Amino acid sequence: MTTRLLFREDAYLREAPATVLAHTPEGGIVVDATVFYATAGGQPGDNGQISWPGGRMAIATAVKVEGGLIALVPAEPVALPAVGTEIMQRIDWVRRYRYMRVHTALHLLSVVIPLPVTGGQIGADKGRLDFAMPEPPTDIAALNDALNLMIQRDLAVTDSWISDADLLANPGLVKTMSVMPPMGQGRVRLVRIGPEEASVDLQPCGGTHVARTAEIGHVEISKIENKGRQNRRVILSLMD
């Protein structure tokens, strides 16, 4: 059995029931279904809480464990719900939604700076992408304008799936140099921004996104850092 990824079926789902399957040696709670996103791809795991008859617990994050399973990590070392217990999961929606806005904005950043991505990280207020970029951009205002114009177009953000073989046959879909999309399950999820016939971005991604770009709101490139002779870190901030 693998954990059903409810966050992937509906990124706007805020709560959902689950059954405790096991406990990890580290004190995690393995569940059969999760509304908590598990840390991966530069996106932090969700926090929130779980409850069950006679008990309640704060959850600090969620992580992947062996066998395609997800474990919820308690915020404090307390007694765990027993295996077989039916629980209700509730994520910190305010924080998750900001992750979604930042994540989609970073996909657009990779459009206005069309260079190979060497790393990235998502936060609740800002995110960053590292680019293979020998020289920093000279016109940050123009980049900000291009980003916000795309956001204001209110483009749809959708997903689809292709086979591992199709991805290997189309290496140009992968923008990240350091991390390959998760493969081995037979298929890979693609996130598309814009209509199929006129997409502005299409790339493999397992994270959570807003449904339309207008939800991102206004963003700005707040800082560009030198991370080596051929590497620049571009930090993008939500402005509301």
For residue 40, which of 173, 205, 188, 189 has the smallest C-alpha distance? 205
Q: Integer distance in angstroms from the first to the last C-alpha of the chain?
A: 41
Take residue 93 and report the two structure tokens written for it: 């929606």
Domain 96-238 has CATH 3.30.980.10: yes
The DSSP symbol for 213 reads G
CATH among 2.40.30.130, 1.10.3720.10, 1.10.8.620, 2.40.30.30 for 4-91? 2.40.30.130
Per-residue pLDDT tens listing for the chain (240 residues):
899 999 999 999 999 999 999 999 999 999 999 999 999 989 999 999 999 999 999 999 999 999 999 999 999 988 999 999 999 999 999 999 999 999 999 999 999 999 999 999 999 999 999 999 989 898 999 999 999 999 999 999 999 887 877 777 777 777 775 555 665 567 888 999 999 999 999 999 999 999 999 999 999 999 999 998 899 999 999 998
Give the H/E segment covering residue 163: strand 157-163
Domain boundaries, the chain: 4-91, 96-238
Handedness of CA 11, 15, 18, 20 (dihedral sign): positive
Residue 216, Ramachandran bin (φ over 0: left; ψ between -120 and 50: alpha; else beta) = alpha
Q: What's phi and psi for 172, nearest 5 deg? A: -65, -15
Give the H/E segment covering residue 180: none
By the 10 Å C-beta count (0-12 exposed, 13-18 middle, 19+ buried), 164 is classed as middle
Give strand ranges (E) for 14-53.
Answer: 15-23, 29-31, 33-34, 48-52
